Amino acid sequence: MTEHDLTLVAGSAETSCGPDVVELQHLIDGNWTDSASGETFERHSPASGQLISRASRGDASDTEKAIAAARKAFDDRRWSDVPGAERARFLNRVADLIDTNRTRIARLETQESGKPISQAEAEIEGAANIWRYAATLAWNIRGESQNALGPDMLGMVLKVPVGVVSIITPWNFPFLIVSQKLPFALAAGCTAVIKPSELTSATTVLLGQLLIEAGLPAGVVNIVLGYGDPVGTVMTTHADVDMVSFTGSTGVGKSIVAATSATLKKVSLELGGKNPQVIFADADLDEAADAIVFGVYFNAGECCNSGSRIIVHEDVADALNEKIVALSRKVPFGDPMNPETRVGAIISKTHQDRIDGYVRQAVDAGARVLLGGEALSIDGLSGNFYQPTVVADVGAQMPIATEEVFGPVLSVLTFRTFDEAIALANTASYGLSAGVWSDNVHTCLEFVRRAEAGTVWTNTWMDGYPELPFGGVKESGLGRELGSGGIEEFLELKTVQMRIGKTRQKWV
């Protein structure tokens, strides 16, 4: 395998001339501010190595100020007392501003993350639609009544905002994922402190600017830039934080659960996945191959929903592998700023080496690399790129088959019987998503029932809608985002029991 077998997109003139460096500050109590320490950190493009942003480096004192601002804003009810209809209008204003600034947001996202510009633009459009969907939920926060408790009693169940929410987001979809959390928290009446990944802080800061422009009261949303220690640590342990909403690795998610145990905060976690697609012998192999290629290379495989593990009936395995390899050669890898690019840069050299380690380990254990398996050089760019990689003859217990590689690497396993396919699909400790390919609806429905996953796709992969909940089982997380349940995560139930008239019998 050589690089000349691939479709490559060289660095563009726009990349080589370099972007303007963006200066980023914290947003605390409605004010943009430097860190108390005066320290900063820098982010360089993973595609070109050029300096993209310079951010204030938050410490514990900065984080405590942000939490105090969010606490005060919640306790004085400046946001939770705003009628749902008005909160909805605010969320729609934010959505409109996101649309207006879509190009600007997408460029920053691409420069910091290395994802293709066309993909980033589509994600920003999707994020705006999520804000609009959350706005519809702000109108409809409904409890219930119990009117059959006897003639002298009326019962009600209210839904109230949980309080101050710490929102911690990852580097792979920085704007989209904060948009899967924050608008639902705001729709519920909560206040928030946000920590974006130190690798991709710029678009969250830009979102903060749009929130202010849309008229959000000071202190309702605060943003602290920096590293997990100390910023994330304070956000997950502080007594004035009522809930933590985190998206990231399962390992960090477990540490957050441990950290929050002292105060028993509410926790919502969207974690990793090792998502299987099971292809039966009667499947449309051309359709399946196209979806598999999309599923494994989208966002360079740096996606919790990546379809990185296929389990194919052995009678059609060779034919499917040939189709996947042929399509993989056609996928344009390269300069993220080029609109033709489908797969951009890997987030860091350290992560690229980790991806390569999984491939090397699989080969040493007897797997075969059908395509790729090495770092990739792109003319005009000095960043981190990895070849589209297909690995066959993968054993069910190999790390490449059970652990999250988080790169453009596809593992191919085979099966003979339905029960064997289900067993392989459910082997991993994760349970985020799964897929089934078959022309037999009975096969698809039985798979849906038996697959251990929060989302199951049939004859498709990675379609998504704001109306449908997203989240996992097992070690893929706790709770759900999106859908009508997206706002429920940020609400608590309060029971009210009302005696009607002076009918209570005296105890003494």
Residues 431/270, Cβ–Cβ less than 8 Å: no
Q: How many other β-carbons are positioned within 10 Å of the β-carbon of residue 419?
A: 10
* Annotated catalytic residue within 112, 270, 302, 475: 270
Query: Starting from the edge strand earliest in sequence, which strands make up the sheet with 164-168, in order?
Result: 31-33, 26-28, 221-223, 191-195, 164-168, 243-247, 266-270, 477-478
Tokens (6 digits) for 420: 């064997």
CA pair distance 168, 267, nearest whole angstrom: 11
Phi-psi group of 494: left, alpha or beta (phi > 0 → left; psi -120 to 50 → alpha; rest → beta) = beta
In single-letter form, the type of residue at position 331 comes to V
Q: Report which DSSP code applies to 229.
A: I
Q: Where are the alpha helices (DSSP H) in 182-272?
A: 182-188, 202-214, 233-237, 250-260
Catalytic choice (123, 304, 444, 481): 304
Angle between helices 117-138 and 84-100 (to 10 degrees): 170
Q: Let me know if 270 is a catalytic residue.
A: yes
User: Angle of helix 441-450 relative to helix 418-425, nearest 10 degrees?
Assistant: 40
Residue 304 annotated in active site: yes
Nearest-angstrom CA–CA distance, 309 and 404: 10
| Contacts of residue 490, Cβ cutoff 8 Å, sequence gap at least 6 | 161, 162, 165, 184, 185, 187, 188, 190, 243
d(CA 36, CA 67) in angstroms, rounded, equals 15
- Cα–Cα distance, 316 to 313 (Å, whole number): 6
Q: Which residues are part of the catalytic machinery?
A: 270, 304
